[in-house]
Amino acid sequence: MRLGDTFIRRFGPLAPTVFFLMESLLVLSLFRIGFMIWLWPRVSAVDGLWPVLGYGLRFDFLLICFVVAIPVVLSLLLPAIPLLQRVFRRGEALWLSFWFGVFVYMETATPSYINQYDSRPGRIFYEYLNHPKEVFGTLWADYKLQLLLGVVLLFLAVGFSLRSLLHLDKNLVSWRLHWRLLAFPLCALVVFSGARSSLDHRPANISTAAFSNDQLVNRLGVSSTYSLFYAISNISNEGRADRIYQKMPTDRMIQLVRRSMGLSDKDFPVADIPTYHKQKSAKNLPRPRNIVIVLEESLGADFVGSLGGKPWTPQLDQLRKQGIWFENLYATGTRSVRGIEAVTTGFLPSPGRSVVKLGLSQQHFFTLAQLFKEWGYKSRFIYGGESHFDNMRGFFLGNGFDQVVDENDYSAPTFRGTWGVSDEDLFARADQEFRKMGDQPFFALVFTSSNHPPFDIPTGIVKNEQDHSVLENAVRYSDYALGNFIERARQSSYWQNTLFLVVADHVDKVYGQALVPINKFHIPALILGADVTPFVYTRLASQSDLPPTLLGLSGRPTKHPMIGRDLLQLPANDPGRAVMQFGLNHAVMVGDQVIIQQPHLPPVQFRYAEGKLQPTELDSAFAEQAKALALWPSYAYFNRQYRLPAK
C-alpha cells in the first residue's frame, strides 16, 4: 500500500486538515530557522535558539488551529450527501491553499520589513496597504527582486497545496457517522486548546513569546501572519492604554500628569479639560511671531555630523550656530504621523495609532492652528505629496488649518518622484505662500519627503553624487534644499517677524536589541529667527516639548492643554524628560533613568548610558509617574479632554 493511501486511510475525513498542518509547520519552521541563521549574533546574544524554536511551534500551531477550526467541524459533522461533500471538499481545498499561500508570502516579505523596521510585519504593514500607489512605487523601486520572489513563491505555494489537497479529496475515505461523532469532541478540544494555547485565565498572545530584551528576537517566535493579524485585531484596543498597561485611578493619574508639568492643581481652571493651563511668554510683543515648522523626513541624529552622526547635513550643521540648537532631543515615535502629532498638537504618544488617524480627533482636537486662529492667524499645511496619506488632510482641515497645499497644487514642478514633488519645489512653494501673506500673521507646517525611500531626487544637485549611496544623496539633497530655503527666507520681508523650527519627524530606521532602542529616537531640532539668540540646549528634551517652547518665544501669553514644557523656562535643576513609543512599549526617560511599560507586564527601569539600557532597581515613585504619562493620552483622547474650551 502506498504511503499516501496509508495517510488517507488513517486520517479519513481529517486528512486534508492534517496535511495542511504538516506542510504549514514545516514551511514556517524552515523560514524561522533561516531567519535565525541570518540574525544569529542577536539570537545567540540572548540565548534565543530554543525559546524561538519552542515558541515558534507553539504559535504556529495556534495560528493553524484558527484556520482549520471550521474545516474540522464540517469534516466531522457535515451529512454524507455526495454533492454536499464534493462542494465542501473543493471549498476546503481552496480555503487551506489560500492560507498556505498567505503564510509563505508573509514569510517571504519579512526580511525586507525587518531591514526597515527591525520587527516582523505588524500595524505599519497593514496601514501601508491603505496607500497602494506610494507603497507599490517604493517596493518596485527598491525591492523588485523581493517583490517578484514573493509573488512567485505565493503562486507556487498555492498551486502545490491545492494540487495535493485535491488529490487527497479524490481518494478520501470517510468514516462512519458514529466514529465521526466520537472523534468530534476530541478534535474540538485539540483545536480549542491549540487556539487558546494557554491554561491561564488569558489566552496566549504576542507577549507570551517575549523572553528577552531584544524585540526582534522575541518576534521570531511567532510567524509574520500571526504578527500581522494580531496587530490588526488589536488596533481597537491599542488606543486604550489601560487595557494593556497597569491601571491607575483617574484622579491620581491626572494629579501626577499635572505634577509632571511643574504646576499645582490651582493652575488648571477648566474641570473637564484637566491639563488646560496658562503659559507665559518670554516677552510680550505688539505683534506675535509667525511660526513655521519644517518637519524633515527621516532625519535622525545618525545623519547629522554635529550630533555624532555621518557628516551628511553640512547646511544644518552650519545653521545650528545661528539659532537654538537642541542636541539631546528625542522623537516620540517611529513614523511621520507620530512626529506630526508631537509638533502640531504637543500630544504625547500612546500604544494606539496617532491621533492624526483616529476618529474622535478629527474635529475639536487641540492643534497649534486652532490656538493661532484665535490670534487671527492663517494656517497652512504645505506638502509635496498626497495630503490624504495617513489622513493628514482630514485631520488638519478639521482642526484649525485654513489651507492644505499638496502634490496636486504644483502646476509645473521641476521634479516629481514616488512620494511627490522635490523638496526644492516644496520650499519654493512655501516661500511663495509666505511672501503673499504680507502683514497677515501665519502659521505653517512644511513637511518634506525627498528623504523617503525610494529616495527619488533630482540628479546633478549633490556634489560627487556618484561617490555616495542613494540614501546619502537623498539626505544631502534634502539638506541642500533646506539651506537654500533658509537663505531665501533671510532675504524676505517675513524673516524679521518669523520663528522657524526645523525638526525631524523620526529616525530613518528604528532597530536594536533593547525593549525601546532609545539611541534610534535621537533627532535634531533647531529654532531660528531674526532675533533668536544662538546657543546650544544640552538638557534632555522631547519632540512634544517643542510646541510649548515655540509659544514661549512667540511674544504672547496663552492657554492650552499641552503637557510638554517650555524648555527655555525650566528650573535650573530639571534634567529634562523624553517620552517615546516603540510598538506597544512605552518609555519615559528623565535624566539618564528610563521606565518602560510593556503590555500586561510590570514596568522595568534602566539607566541609559553610552547608547545602551542597563537594568537597575525600580524607583516606585518614578514608575508611578511614568505610568500616568503612559495612560494619559488614551484617557484624554477617549474622553475628549484635549481641546480648547467651547466658546
> To 10 degrees, the CA torsion angle through 610, 615, 619, 621?
70
pLDDT at res. 4: 61
Q: Determine the structural domain holding residue 209 and report its residue range.
A: 3-237
Residue 374, domain member (yes or no): yes
Same domain, 137 and 276: no
Which CATH number covers residue 434?
Answer: 3.40.720.10
Same domain, 261 and 228: no
Which of residues 237, 264, 292 is at a domain's end? 237
Residue type, 444: A
3: pLDDT confidence band, cut at 50, 70 and 90? very low
Domain count, the chain: 2
Of 579, 581, 603, 604, residue with least CA distance to 590? 579
Same domain, 276 and 232: no
Provide, rounded to the nearest whole percent, the portion of the chain with pLDDT above 70. Answer: 98
Cα separation, 327 vs 526, in Å, equals: 9
Cα separation, 219 vs 275, in Å, equals: 37
SS3 content of the chain, % helix, strand, coil (to 5): 50, 15, 35
Same domain, 268 and 207: no
Residue 533, domain member (yes or no): no
Residue type, 349: P
pLDDT tens per residue, range 78-125: 888 888 888 998 999 999 999 999 999 999 999 988 887 888 998 778
Residue 191 burial (CB < 10 Å; 0-12/13-18/19+)?
buried
Residue 449, domain member (yes or no): yes
Place of cell 514633488: 421
Three-state DSSP class for 356?
A: coil
Residue 401, domain member (yes or no): no
pLDDT tens per residue, range 596-643: 999 989 999 999 998 899 999 999 999 999 999 999 999 999 999 999
Which of residues 172, 203, 237 is at a domain's end? 237
Mean predicted confidence (pLDDT) in 364-379: 95
Cα separation, 358 vs 362, in Å, equals: 7
pLDDT at res. 68: 95
pLDDT at res. 5: 67
Same domain, 485 and 559: yes
Higher pLDDT, 528 or 180: 528
Strand partners, 230: none
Side-chain half-sphere exposure of 280, counting CA atoms within 13 A? 8
pLDDT at res. 352: 87
Same domain, 435 and 498: yes
Same domain, 290 and 229: no
Same domain, 439 and 472: yes
Cα separation, 577 vs 559, in Å, equals: 22
Higher pLDDT, 145 or 517: 517
Same domain, 227 and 338: no
Of 269, 520, 239, residue with least CA distance to 355? 239
Cα separation, 349 vs 337, in Å, equals: 10
Side-chain half-sphere exposure of 636, counting CA atoms within 13 A? 31
Phi-psi region of 555 (alpha: psi -120 to 50; beta: other; left: phi over 0): left
List the single range of 191-205, 363-377, 406-420, 569-583 with lowest mean pLDDT. 191-205
Residue 538, domain member (yes or no): no
Cα separation, 567 vs 244, in Å, equals: 31
Mean pLDDT over the full length of the chain: 91
Angle 421-401-348 (CA atoms, 0-180°, nearest 5)?
Answer: 90
Residue 599, domain member (yes or no): no
pLDDT tens per residue, range 148-168: 888 898 899 999 999 988 888
pLDDT at res. 1: 37
Residue 405, domain member (yes or no): no
Question: CB under 8 Å to 467, separation ≥6 — which residues?
Answer: none
Q: Quick one: cell of 89?
A: 471538499
pLDDT tens per residue, range 208-256: 888 887 878 989 999 999 999 988 876 765 578 888 899 999 999 999 9
Same domain, 205 and 323: no
Residue 581, domain member (yes or no): no
Mean predicted confidence (pLDDT) in 521-543: 96
pLDDT tens per residue, range 547-579: 999 999 999 999 999 999 999 999 999 999 999
Same domain, 212 and 321: no
Same domain, 21 and 91: yes
Tell me if 345 sits within 8 A of 380, measured CB to CB: no
Residue type, 345: T
DSSP line for 55-94: HHHHHHHHHHHHHHHHHHHHHHHS---HHHHHHHHHHHHH
pLDDT at res. 47: 93
Question: CB under 8 Å to 203, separation ≥6 — which residues?
Answer: 195, 196, 197
Tell me if 580 sits within 8 A of 589, measured CB to CB: yes
